[in-house]
Amino acid sequence: MRHIILTGFMGAGKTTVGKLLAQKLGCPFLDTDQLIQQQAGMSISRIFAEKGEETFRSLETAILKEAWTQEEAWVLSVGGGLPMREENRRLLKRIGAVVYLRVNRDTVLRRLSGDTTRPLLSGGNVEERVDSLLAVRGPLYEEGADLVVDADHKTPDAIARELRKLWDQ
Ligand code: S3P
């Protein structure tokens, strides 16, 4: 089995779906945000505040390069901005099958209302921020994906079951 990578906007459910899918497939689950926080010994918000977004983006690329060298199959969920770098999109496709969990702005706003862990959405007008980021990112997520799953009206478990079936075939 090739590795499975979940991409999509903040709030798409990548981590929740990824954990469920890994359970169903009986393989490890990895998450780039978690790995970066462990390695840096600080939260994503602190990395953004103290080291800047560019440093965070470079850590994301470094994690992908490391992950690529591992032989064991796993499910990997990646931060919402990771596929924005062209280099990262290429790496993802080489690593495994890329599944884009697509959600619309209303789903994002509903799921992330009150969230304080995403530096890109803190402060300012969150609706405008989500709209402008989605407009830029949507086409790039699609370009980098092998499969697109519309995730607005499905439970994480239903999506995990759907993906599991595909990988059984
Ligand atoms: C980001 C998404 C976050 C995290 C960081 C930046 C983004 O991950 O990597 O806050 O640029 O969209 P999630 O997509 O898991 O929220």
**What is the tens place of the pLDDT at every residue in 28-82?**
999 999 999 999 999 999 999 999 999 999 999 999 998 777 778 899 999 999 9
Query: What is the best residue among 33, 47, 77, 107 to mutate for testing ligand 1's pocket, by most ligand atoms within 8 Å of CB?
Result: 33
**Ligand 1: distance of its center to the CA of 11 in Å?**
9
pTM of this structure: 0.95
Name the phi and psi angles at 8, rounded to 5: 145, 170
| Percentage of the chain exceeding pLDDT 90 | 86
Provide the number of structural domains found in the chain: 1
| CATH number of the domain within which 126 lies | 3.40.50.300
For residue 16, give the nearest of 107, 169, 151, 165 by alpha carbon.
151
The residue whose CA is least distant from atom 11 of ligand 1 is 81
**Ligand 1: distance of its center to the CA of 78 in Å?**
8
Query: What is the best residue among 48, 77, 120 to mutate for testing ligand 1's pocket, by most ligand atoms within 8 Å of CB?
Result: 120
Identify the residues whose C-beta falls under 6 Å from ligand 1.
10, 14, 33, 44, 79-81, 118-120
Give pLDDT, residue 123: 79
Ligand 1 atom having least distance to the Cα of 32 = 9
Mean pLDDT of 97-117: 95
- Give the domain extent around 137: 3-168
Which helix (H) or strand (E) segment holds residue 54: the answer is: helix 53-68
Residues 6+ apart with CB under 8 A from 169: none
Residue that the structure tokens 């990262």 belong to:
88
pLDDT at 162 over 60: yes
**Ligand 1: distance of its center to the CA of 139 in Å?**
17
13 within 8 A of 110, measured Cβ to Cβ: no
